[in-house]
Structure formats: structure tokens, C-alpha cells
Chains A and B, each alone.
Chain A
Amino acid sequence: MRAKKIRVLVAKPGLDGHDRGAKVICRALRDAGMEVIYTGLRRTPEEIVSAAIQEDADLIGLSILSGAHPILFPRIIKLLKDKGAEEIPVIAGGIIPENDIARMKKVGIREIFLPGTSTQEIVRWIQENIGRRGKK
């Protein structure tokens, strides 16, 4: 039986419009056989969380380059909990100071990928860590 495809919601919180990374990741994940939903720019934490639930995502990938992650990431994690969707894991990438990484992971971001990460590395991480939710 063929395994179900992993569904990833790629989301851009924050006000910045730098979508090069997000779009490259979208294509790379799609080419690796995943189903990718891209939110487009400037999504609020509320919009991202409800999209993830609605789309039945197995994973949320956040891309942010504006520096607002210390406020927005914890907010997204909290909203997931509030909506009973905390089992959806969240990963992130962008311009994130190394000092913030531990803090963000403590809040509940599973992994953070910095500039220079290869797309294979991200694909591999997802394949190793994320199954089709509830249908593993």
C-alpha cells in the first residue's frame, strides 16, 4: 500500500515580504513528494493556525526574516494548544539569531534551519521526524 503524502503548510508570519526561501522550500518539498500548501505573505498567527487545522497539515513550516519571531512563534504555539492542535509540529527558518534558537525550541519550535541549510537536509529531517498524522 502506498504511504499517504506528508502535508506541509508553509507559512509566512511577520510583515516582511522576503519569500524567496519559502518558495524554494515549497518547491523542494513538493519535488520530494510532499503536499505543500503555501499561505502567502503576512499571515497572522491566527490565520496560520486555522489554516493548518483546516488543511489537516502534518507539519507547519514558518519562514520569517523580519525579527518578529520572538513574539510571533510563541503566539503560534500557544494558539495551536488553545485549539487542541498542539500535535502539529512546527519548524522554522529565516533570519534567526543563534541566541534565540534555544529559546524558540523551548517554546516548542521543533527545529530551526538557518540560511545555508540545503533543501535535502530539510526534506530528510521531515521524512525522519514527521509521519502522516494519526495514520503512521
Chain B
Amino acid sequence: MKKRQTKAPDIKKAQASWKRNRYAKAMDACAPAKAFTTVSGKAIKELYTPADLPGFDYIRDLNFPGEYPFTRGIHPTMHRGRPWTMRQFSGFGTAEDTNRRYKYLLAHGQTGLSVAFHLPTLMGVASDHPLAKGEVGKCGVAIDSLVDMEILFRGIPLDKITTSMTINAPAAVLWAMYIAVAEKQGVSPKVISGTIQNDILKEYIAQKTFVFPPRPSMKLIIDTFEYGAKEVPRWNTISISGYHIREAGATAVQELAFTLRDGIEYVEWGLERGLEIDEFAPRLSYFFNSHNDFFEEIAKFRAARRIWAEVMRHRFGARNPRSWWLRFHTQTSGVSLVAQQPYNNVVRVAVQALAAVLGGTQSLHTNSLDETYALPSEEAVTIALRTQQVIAHESGVANAIDPLGGSYFVEALTREMENEAKSYIKKIDDMGGMVKAVELGFPQKEIADSAYWYQKAVDAGEKIIVGVNAFAMEHEPIPLLEIDRTVARQQVARLRKVRKTRNQTAAKGSLADLKKAARDDRNLMPYLLKSVKAYATLGEIMDTLKDVYGEYQEPVTF
């Protein structure tokens, strides 16, 4: 006799009855009602069943790993075929200091480099600029000219390692320096691989390290797309970043929606330039945050892949499946770490890293326990790297691909977040796109509202943070990395020496050519390469471009 299968409508009825007769009554006897919501404030039901997935179609909604819409992952083998890249973001002090840290990380099993630049470099100002006072070598490594970049990668073969560089407003300049260093090592630009963040939209939206106004900034980014597609084909010319949007206070859905809409904006500008979609889309990559709410994060990563695949295939008509792939890097959430009882941060990072792995990330940075105080110490960064290694080699979570696929809860949440993100995307489409929305202050306001909502929820004790608004106790100070006070002096001395000893005619001439090319609206990459090779400094190059493009002034609101 064949067993009778329960159909979905029966489950729905049975679920309602269970909720009424069993669950609700039992809950009445439990602790006083509290709201069950994610860290983003999204309501979570008590139980998910097939009735929460009406019309669910395995092939259409999930399909197999490596198959459209890639909900289960972009590669057929995922972490079985190739574990995620363990890529710790680091940089501090002088190029020598950071070069030593890179060699240490590589010797301890890290598989890719990720450069953190100090704030003057991020803002495109020289280390001896008045605004750089107190900042040199603090938040990252000080890079003022090609000389620093040569030291940064000394003894590190650029044909063997991939490098990610977190740089935005001056991204094209730092990329030119990297290409120049590779050439000096005898490595062709055709074989180097890595990523520049190069995502200016999220700077206006969230991280605020902008220099030029939005439109010329977008032009520079499209220059890198165009140049990269021809000359540096293995380079990811952008890492479209939700990370900072989330850190600034966005909910998970806002992170998802704003980031993907940024991606759409870059594609539109690329097409506007006359680029062929399948020529540059495969080099677009993403960067997400992994916050505390485990399932919400996993659902976010899965929804991101599905939305992007659909956007690329159907909205933009891309035909190369690689253009449909949403490849992404993940960093655990800095803002979720707390100063109180800092060793607990190791646990938070582990949970967040696990969500990123289960969400199918291609590479991962795990934060260090001491980052609410300072840049990480060597000991702290080692624990962070070990956390990834324990997940990869001991936990067994990467054995099966997308192990949570098919969970009623995870699938329902993935679908819900997908729908909510799509309605945000539609709203921004209706405003005229992301550059327009940024100019109107729309995403900025949404994020500030979410940040304030969350802080109030924490202050009211509706959201518990262990060690902060519950389970508080005194803790001993922890050992921290201190940046040598001589760093600024050394860096400024080196910069001044470069300015004095280089071939002045070549340097000045290259800057004049750059300015003319900017005025003529040419692709600036060849000119930037010429300038950096002539040892024009980052500050000089950015000042030259400021003369043409102007500087962005953010409207002050809160």
C-alpha cells in the first residue's frame, strides 16, 4: 500500500490548530511575552513548515550549486573543491611594519593579503598634510608614493598571491601603484589577481571616505572597469560593499538592498560608457557583513545570490553565467564587538564566521577581539585566523554544500528578505537610481534611523548585549598594539625625500598630462600609471584631480 502524503493545505490547517491549541497555551505558562526579532528587528515566527513556502519550486528557487539562480552557491563544488580564502585585513605603521605582518600571516596559513591603508591615504592626502596630524600609520599602513608600495610588497611574489586593497576615492591610483610594483617584479599585469574595493557609492552612503563628488567618482570607477577588462583581466575592479552600510547601522535587508542597488548603478554606468555587459560583469565582486543574527545572515547571503543572478540575467541580459555570479568576501561585524569583557568577542566572531561559511562566502576576514580598542595585536589576529581554521578543519560544516538549504525557516527567511530588498531596489529605481538617491540623502537617512532604533532597543534592554546591558562585570585591561610614535616622522621624511630626489621633469610632466586627460574626459588609467611610475605622490595626484573635479561636501544632518 502506498503511504499517503500530507498536502500543503493540510499542513497549513494543522499548523494553525497546533499554534492555537498547543503552542499558545503552553506559551501562556512560560515567561512573560517578549518579542522574537532578529538583530535587525525582523519578526520571527515560532515555527516554519512547508506552509510557509507556498509555491516553492526546488529547481526554480534553489537549483543545484553552480546552477542559476545560485541560491545554493555559485560553484558546483563550493568549499569542498576550494575552501574559502582566509584573508585578514591588515596594515599599520610604515610599509616595513606591514610587510613584516604580511609575511607573518602568510607563514601562519593565511592564503591572501588584504591591505588596510591609513586614513590620509584613504582620503588622498599626504602624510605631511595638516589633516594627517596624528593619523599617520594609525588605521592602516602609510602609502604616499610608489616607493612605499615597493616596500610593502618586498619579497612577496605578486604572481603567487592575490591581494585585496581597501581603497575607494583614490582606488585607481593605488591600483596603478600595485600594477607598477608587479611590473618591477617582472610580473605581467595579465596574471596578477586581487581586488580593489573601489566602491564610492557606499562611501557617500555610509563610510564617508569620499573625495570627489559622485559623478566624477563614478567616471573614475568605470575607467578601471574599462582598463581592467583589457589589461588586467584577472583583477576584480570593484568590491561592491554592504559591509560599511551595515556597520553604519543598516538592517540586514537594507544592507542587501542598498548594496545590490549600488551594483546595479555601476552596471548601468558601465553600459552607458559603451562597455559590453559580459566583458566587465564577471569582474564585479561583493563584500558583505556578517552580523550576530545567525539565520538572518545566512538568508541574506543566499538571497543576495538569487537577486543578483536574476538582475544580471533578466534586467541586463547578461549571457555569460559568470556575469550572473555574485562572488563575495565577508567580514565579521566590527560594530557588534564590545569593549566590555573583550574575550567574549572571540565567540561572537566565531558565530558570525560560521554564518558566512554556511552562506557560501568566497573569502573571509574574522575580526580580532581587541578591535573596539585599537588595531589588533599579533596575538589577537592569530586567534581570529585560528577561528577560521577551526571552522574549516574541525567543525565539518563545509562538508555538505549549503547544508541549511531546504530548512523551512531558512528558505522562508531567504524569500522574505529577497522580496523586501526588491521593493527597496524598486523604490531607488523610481528615484532615478542610486546616485540620485544619495544626492537626496535617502539611504543615509534610512540607515541613521535604523541605527537610532537599534541603540534605543539596546538602551531599553529589549536587545541584550552580553557584558554590556546584561551580565556586566569588571575586566582586566588587555594587551594592545601600540603604533610606534616615530612612524609619522619616518614616513614624512621618506615622502620628502621622494619629492626631492625623483626626476622632477617626469613627475611634473606626468601630472600635467593627467590633468589634461581629466579635462578631456579620457580614461585616466594610463595617465595614472605614468604618474605613479614617475614617483608623483598620491597627494599630488589627488590634488591634480581635485582641481578638475572639485571636492564633495556632505550636507550635515543627524
Contact = CB atoms under 8 A, between A and B. Distances in A.
Interface of A: 10, 14-20, 22-24, 26-28, 36, 38-42, 44, 66-72, 75, 95-99, 114-116, 118-120
Nearest to B480: A97
A43 B117 CA distance: 21
Contacts of B132: 15
Contacts of A115: 337-339, 372
B134 A69 contact: yes
Given A27-B452, A66-B135, A98-B477, A41 B130 contact: no
B123 A36 contact: no
A118 B558 contact: no
B452 A24 contact: yes
Contact of B558 (A17, A23, A71, A96): A23
Interface string B368-379: 000011110000
B483 A38 contact: no
B506 interface: no
B558 A27 contact: yes
Contacts of A69: 134
B372 A114 contact: yes
A20 B451 contact: yes
Interface string B462-496: 00010111000000010010010000000000000
Contacts of A14: 119, 134-135
Given A16-B119, A17-B209, 16 more contacts: A15-B120, A17-B207, A18-B208, A20-B248, A24-B452, A27-B448, A39-B556, A40-B554, A40-B556, A66-B135, A67-B375, A70-B134, A115-B337, A116-B340, A116-B372, A116-B465
8 closest Cβ pairs, A-B complex? A17-B208, A71-B134, A68-B134, A67-B138, A40-B556, A15-B119, A26-B558, A116-B468
A99 to B, nearest CB: 7
A1 B338 CA distance: 42
A99 B480 CA distance: 9
A28 to B, nearest CB: 7
Contacts of B210: 17
A20 B335 CA distance: 10
23 contacts: A14-B119, A15-B125, A15-B131, A17-B210, A19-B208, A20-B247, A20-B248, A23-B451, A24-B249, A24-B452, A27-B452, A66-B134, A66-B135, A67-B374, A68-B134, A71-B134, A96-B373, A97-B480, A114-B339, A114-B372, A115-B338, A115-B372, A119-B456
Nearest to B467: A116
Interface in B526-558: 554, 556-558
B455 interface: yes
Nearest to A19: B208
A20 B456 CA distance: 14
Contact of A95 (B208, B372, B469, B556): B372
Contacts of A41: 208, 554
Interface in B295-340: 335, 337-340
A44 B248 CA distance: 23
B276 interface: no
B347 interface: no
Interface in B196-223: 203, 207-210
Contacts of B480: 97, 99
B139 interface: yes
Contacts of A68: 119, 133-135, 138
Nearest to A67: B138
Contact of A67 (B123, B465, B483): B483
B183 interface: no
A44 B129 CA distance: 12
Given A24-B452, A41-B554, A114-B372, A67 B135 contact: yes
Interface in B97-143: 119-120, 122-123, 125, 130-135, 138-139
B138 A28 contact: no
A36 B557 CA distance: 11
A27 to B, nearest CB: 5
Contacts of A119: 455-456, 459
A97 B558 contact: no
Nearest to B138: A67
A133 B376 CA distance: 41
Contacts of A116: 338-340, 372, 465, 467-468
Given A24-B452, A66-B119, A38 B372 contact: no
A61 to B, nearest CB: 12
A6 to B, nearest CB: 17
Contacts of A118: 458-459, 469
Given A44-B130, A98-B373, A116-B339, A38 B135 contact: no
A41 B119 CA distance: 13
Nearest to A40: B556
